[in-house]
Chains A and B, each alone.
Chain A
């Protein structure tokens, strides 16, 4: 029962262009969402989060959009840089729980 899904296992983008990573969820009780970035042989590092009371949150080159009716969130990276090449995980949490449910990740490759 995969409550958080990232249907694109990989994505390649040219440097300077926009990267769009997508995430879908099934549990309507989720109310907090995060994106993590992971480099090989390292632990995931936090990138950006969004609460369900918002539909957009921006931090520098990174913007997360939340569409609650579609149960969909996306991460936009503009402009993409080679150092952004990593695996990106979305995660969701619901109603005051400590538990995060992670997606399976999307491997982003930014081509120089």
Chain B
């Protein structure tokens, strides 16, 4: 009964491909997030949805598009993958402002 799950755990793909990462939480939280941890270990927020509405959209290339079909799911689709997209992508969920965010195990993306 994993609280925040992500699939796949590892993703190796060629430049130019399109890929998706899925995230699901069973904590009943209203807010979900996508973070990117790059090679320098910076953990940076990319997007956040609250009750299926986009509330945070950082300076992220348009090739990245989040989709929230319901408040338990937040998927990340990446078009035309580039070498610089190689990173670990973490999904998280929380119940609101000033509330603890719970993280998934991460998806390790390697673009060749």
Which A residues contact B (CB, under 8 angstroms)?
32, 34, 36, 41-46, 49, 51, 87, 89, 93, 96-102, 104-105
Task: Output the residue of A41, A45, A98, A104 with the most chain B CB within 10 A.
Answer: A98
User: Which one of A45, A49, A51, A99 lies within 8 Å of B45 (CB-CB)?
Assistant: A99
Q: Does B75 contact A (CB under 8 A)?
A: no
Distance to closest chain A CB from B74 (angstroms): 13
Q: Are B31 and A98 in contact (CB under 8 A)?
A: yes
A45 lies within 8 A of B103 (CB): yes
B12 at the interface (CB under 8 A from A): no
- Chain A: which residue is nearest B58 at the CB level? A99
Is residue B102 contacting chain A, with contact meaning CB distance below 8 A?
Answer: yes
Give which listed residue, B4, B35, B40, B48, contacts A98 with CB less than 8 A. Answer: B48
Most buried by B among A34, A43, A100, A102: A43
Which residues of B line the A interface, CB within 8 A? 4, 31, 33, 35, 40-45, 48, 50, 55-56, 90, 92, 94, 96-98, 100-106
B8: shortest Cβ distance to chain A, in Å? Answer: 14
| Contact B42 A102, beta carbon cutoff 8 Å | yes
* Residue ID in chain B nearest A93 by CB atoms: B98
The distance in angstroms between the C-alpha atoms of A87 and B37, with both chains bound, is 13
| B100/A34 in contact, CB under 8 A | yes
Of the A-B pairs whose beta carbons lie under 8 Å apart in the complex, a sample of 15, sorted by A's number, is: A32-B98, A34-B100, A43-B4, A43-B90, A43-B103, A43-B104, A89-B43, A93-B97, A96-B97, A96-B98, A99-B48, A99-B56, A100-B101, A101-B45, A105-B43
Contacts of A96 in B (CB 8 A): 97-98
